[in-house]
Amino acid sequence: GQQVMQIPQYQHVQEGEDFTTYCNSSTTLSNIQWYKQRPGGHPVFLIQLVKSGEVKKQKRLTFQFGEAKKNSSLHITATQTTDVGTYFCAQNSGGSNYKLTFGKGTLLTVNP
Amino acid sequence: GAGVSQTPSNKVTEKGKYVELRCDPISGHTALYWYRQSLGQGPEFLIYFQGTGAADDSGLPNDRFFAVRPEGSVSTLKIQRTERGDSAVYLCASSLTGTTSYEQYFGPGTRLTVT
């Protein structure tokens, strides 16, 4: 079935450094969603990207959707300890608008 | 407003027992989802309700798993003859509707441990 591959699996940074996680698919995606899960918490929606080449920003977070709609990235500028958590990309799968298939996530840890 | 709530937060049960996990979605959300999350993995889709009906139960691993949403609001995930491999965090989510791709709001989850 459809799968999104996320890299890296883990990333440890010093506070203030930048961080990027990538999501890749072998098939064209209708859209992609990003979620953040704090340690011990539940996934929290961050953003949805729909258009080819779309770029969206939320403060220090920049989300991109590739031109071919097969990949996406999340970039955090100047990480803070509050950024700690696992970042998941998720795609609608099975031709549906509701069924999400999640990547394995990237666990970000930040050293203060 | 209130988010998605799930009870219990933790459930420990013996192998072979029956368990029920409850989800109370955000008021007004017609779409409700159940996911299962194992350690180090992303949430795995189990079942989707649009209103009272299970529109897609393709993610349920086998016939020991069943879910209902009789009045289109609260949902219960039922697991019969639990096995140790069922141990995981069971997440419930809801969204405004499932007919358009909307953000899903997740509950805090129920951590199920089968001993």
Give B72-83 pLDDT, tens digit per residue: 999 999 999 999
Contact status, residue A108 vs residue A89, Cβ threshold 8 Å: no
Residues 6+ apart with CB under 8 A from B39: none
Q: If you search the block for the tokens 């071919």, which residue do you land on?
A: A68
Instruction: Pull the structure tokens for residue A41.
Output: 């918490």
| Other Cβ atoms within 10 Å of A82 Cβ, number | 8
pLDDT of residue B2: 85
Contact of A104 with chain B, judged by CB distance below 8 Å, is answered with: yes
pLDDT of residue A96: 77
Cβ distance of A98 and B40 shorter than 8 Å: no
Low-confidence spans in chain A with pLDDT less than 70: 1-2
Helix (H, G, I), strand (E, B) or coil at A50: coil
Cβ distance of A43 and B98 shorter than 8 Å: no
B17 CA to chain A: closest CA distance, Å? Answer: 26
